Structure formats: C-alpha cells, structure tokens
C-alpha cells in the first residue's frame, strides 16, 4: 500500500456551486503495486480506488471526470510511516471571485519568439479540438473551467506564476493585470457570452502584461532586449490609466505591445494557412 498526498493546483468547479479550492490537500491510500504519483489516474485499478476515496471525502467524481488528471493536482508519495487519519473534508462553496490558478515559478530562460509560437499553437489546438464549440454549449462553471485550462497553457509557455480571477465589473471593462499582487482580474461577464474569442484575446493581452513585468523584475530570465525592458520599466512606473486619458493609455508602449501580441497570436492561431 502507498499513501499519496494530493494538493489542488487550482480551483475546480464540481457543479451545484461546489468547488475544490486551490491548495486543498487530500490523502489517499492506493493498494495497487508499482503506482507512482504521475500514474495514479492512468492505471485503471488505482483510478478506481482514487474515485472511491474521493467519494469518502465528499468529492463525487465520475470515471470520465476531467479532474482525474495529474495536471490538476500536485501529487507526492508520503513516507511509509504516514497513516491517513480518515478525516473527511467538506468542500466549501466559493464564488467566482476566488483565484483560479497557480503554478510554480519557472527558472529557465524564456525565448520571446518561441514563447509566442507556443501561444499560437495553444490557440490553434483550442480551435482544432473544438473547444470553442464546447465553450458555447457549457454553463458558467464549464466555461470558466475551459478558460482556466487555456490560461494554464499560456502560463506554462510564458513562464509566469500570475493568478487569474473573475469578478463582477462594469460592462465596459474587460479586466486588468495588477502588478502589486501579481494577479489578472477579468470581467465575469465574459462567461455569459457563448463566443470565447474576445475572452481568449484578453487572457493573452493581460498575460503579456504579466510577462512584461517578469521581464522588468528578472531581465536575465528572458531574451527580450534590455532597451525594450527599460521602456517597459519606465511605463510601469509612470502608467496612465484609461479613465484619465484613453488616448494616452492606448499609446503606452506596454499597451501597444500587449495589443499587438494578443491580436497577432489570435490571428495566426486561427489562420489555417499559418505554419
């Protein structure tokens, strides 16, 4: 028997307003020989045992649940002397303002060109897999999950560890990146629209701001030229809010760069002739 600890990497919607919050820790005992943290859900027998033990903790997951995937959990094997207390966990109800995602910091140098190509591939795969159609058919929670999964891929490509939240905002506001708390906040109104193109574009736009901020704070972790980073640094220090002067806001270097990046990635990602 092996004991594993599973920690939720992000918030997971279970339906009926119930969620597994980010950081929730669960332990389970697997009685299948040779199972490793990354094979718990791929081995049929250990997958069955995992479903049963989720159920004892108040988490009802079907055998085809997308949450039975190591991408949603940080999984580690506990020492042999560890014994599961058998304590059950009530899954708390949270609202859409709760942070959705988090990954560990990246140490490798991010090549700006390769990163953009990777994001283009994410968009292409999104549409090739018909996720835009699935998004249109889903309810609020399902759409939020799809958006979060897309953002998870963007985070990996960009090497950022920025949180993503949805919250109620005025209809005209799309969202923003808050450098002070390293968080992207998007308008929850997005999730009421069956067309997800503008949402994906906004995720890319705000993620680019998080990447710009990463460049400013860790210039050696990216291939962006120092003179460009210096401009971004100055722009963050002297940022002009749209409510104060919209034209000046639009003409800021970090805004022009984020607009170009998001529009270009979306255009190339949905262009069947782009290679």
Helix axes 197-217, 112-128, angle to 10 degrees: 160
pLDDT at 210: 95
The model's confidence at residue 95, banded by pLDDT at 50, 70 and 90, is very low
Q: Are residues 174 and 238 in the same domain?
A: yes
Q: Which residue among 21, 51, 77 closes a domain?
A: 77
Establish if 101 belongs to a structural domain: no
The pLDDT tens digits for 74-83 are 888 876 543 3
Q: Are residues 56 and 149 in the same domain?
A: no
Distance (Å, whole) CA 69 – CA 176? 30
Query: 222 forms bridges with which residues in the sheet?
Result: 110
The model's confidence at residue 107, banded by pLDDT at 50, 70 and 90, is low
Portion of the chain with pLDDT greater than 90, in percent: 43
Q: Are residues 119 and 184 in the same domain?
A: yes
Q: Is the model's pLDDT at 64 over the cut of 50?
A: yes
Residues 6+ apart with CB under 8 A from 164: 99, 100, 101, 148, 151, 183, 184, 186, 203
Cα end-to-end distance, the chain, whole Å: 49
Establish if 177 belongs to a structural domain: yes
Q: Are residues 70 and 123 in the same domain?
A: no
The pLDDT tens digits for 175-216 are 899 888 889 999 888 889 999 999 999 999 999 999 999 999
Q: Which residue among 77, 100, 122 closes a domain?
A: 77
What sign for the dihedral angle of Cα 269, 188, 215, 152?
A: negative
The pLDDT tens digits for 114-169 are 999 999 999 999 999 999 999 999 988 889 999 999 999 999 999 999 999 888 88
Establish if 10 belongs to a structural domain: yes
Q: Are residues 177 and 120 in the same domain?
A: yes
Tell me how many domains the chain contains: 2
The pLDDT tens digits for 18-32 are 688 888 888 888 887
Q: Are residues 7 and 133 in the same domain?
A: no
Establish if 104 belongs to a structural domain: no
Q: Are residues 226 and 150 in the same domain?
A: yes
Helix axes 197-217, 140-158, angle to 10 degrees: 30
Distance (Å, whole) CA 68 – CA 226? 43
Establish if 275 belongs to a structural domain: no
Beta strands in 50-178 (DSSP E): 73-77, 163-167, 175-178
85, 25 Cβ separation under 8 angstroms: no
Q: Which residue among 56, 77, 98 closes a domain?
A: 77
Q: Are residues 69 and 123 in the same domain?
A: no
Distance (Å, whole) CA 176 – CA 90? 33
The pLDDT tens digits for 227-269 are 999 999 999 989 888 888 888 988 999 999 999 999 999 999 9
- Range from 35-39, 44-48, 232-236, 249-253 carrying the lowest mean pLDDT: 35-39
What residue numbers bound the domain in which 30 lies?
Answer: 2-77
Q: Are residues 177 and 67 in the same domain?
A: no
Q: Are residues 158 and 256 in the same domain?
A: yes
Q: Are residues 129 and 228 in the same domain?
A: yes
Establish if 35 belongs to a structural domain: yes
Establish if 225 belongs to a structural domain: yes
Establish if 232 belongs to a structural domain: yes
The model's confidence at residue 16, banded by pLDDT at 50, 70 and 90, is low
Q: Is the model's pLDDT at 88 over the cut of 70?
A: no
pLDDT at 224: 95
């Amino acid at each position: 028997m092996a004991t594993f600890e599973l920690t939720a990497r992000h918030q997971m919607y279970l339906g009926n307003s119930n969620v597994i919050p980010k950081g929730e820790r669960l332990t389970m005992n697997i009685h299948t020989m040779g199972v490793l943290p990354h094979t718990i859900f791929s081995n049929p027998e250990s997958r069955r045992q995992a479903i049963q033990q989720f159920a004892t903790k108040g988490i009802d997951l079907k055998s085809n649940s997308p949450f039975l995937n190591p991408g949603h959990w940080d999984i580690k094997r506990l020492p042999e002397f560890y014994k599961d207390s058998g304590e059950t966990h009530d899954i708390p109800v949270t609202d859409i303002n709760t942070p959705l995602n988090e990954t560990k910091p990246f140490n490798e140098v991010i090549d700006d060109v390769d990163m953009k190509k990777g994001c283009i591939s994410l968009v292409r795969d999104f549409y090739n897999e018909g996720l835009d159609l699935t998004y249109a058919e889903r309810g609020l929670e399902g759409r939020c999950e799809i958006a979060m999964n897309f953002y998870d891929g963007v985070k990996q490509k960009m090497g950022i560890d920025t949180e993503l939240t949805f919250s109620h905002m005025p209809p005209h506001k799309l969202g923003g990146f808050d450098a002070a708390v390293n968080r992207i906040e998007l308008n929850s109104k997005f999730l009421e629209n069956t067309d997800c193109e503008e949402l994906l574009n906004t995720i890319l736009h705000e993620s680019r701001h998080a990447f710009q901020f990463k460049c400013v704070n860790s210039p050696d972790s990216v291939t962006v030229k120092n003179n460009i980073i210096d401009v971004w640094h100055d722009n963050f220090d002297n940022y002009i809010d749209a409510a104060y002067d919209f034209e000046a806001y639009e003409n800021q270097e970090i805004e022009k760069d984020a607009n170009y990046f998001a529009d270009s990635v979306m255009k190339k990602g949905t262009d069947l002739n782009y290679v």
